[in-house]
Amino acid sequence: MAEGVLPAGHVARRLRITGRVQGVGYRAWAVETASGLGLDGWARNRTDGSVEALIVGEAAAVEDFIRRAHEGPMIAKVDGVEAMPAKGIVASGFVQKPTV
């Protein structure tokens, strides 16, 4: 795949999830949920208390993940999910990355 070029029907979104989303298993939930939807990308904590994620895959699956991200794991309290277009340059699979 050429840099920044996604297959037909695929999209990439960078998410910023705010609320009580650290220390509640949100990244692990994101890995499990995204993997189950066949998405590629990653999730990581940010030092500002948010979780950042890059989600790449079929448009319907990405939108499904974004809908679910508003809930997250049971003990999270999500205040907001901001989704922005992204280039979608990631390895295959979905991983949890260290905090930045």
Q: 27 an active-site residue?
A: yes
Catalytic residue among 45, 46, 67, 68: 45
Q: 14 an active-site residue?
A: no
Catalytic residue among 13, 14, 16, 27: 27
Residue 96: strand pairing partners: 43
What is d(CA 67, CA 17) in angstroms, rounded to the nearest whole number?
Answer: 12
List active site positions. Answer: 27, 45
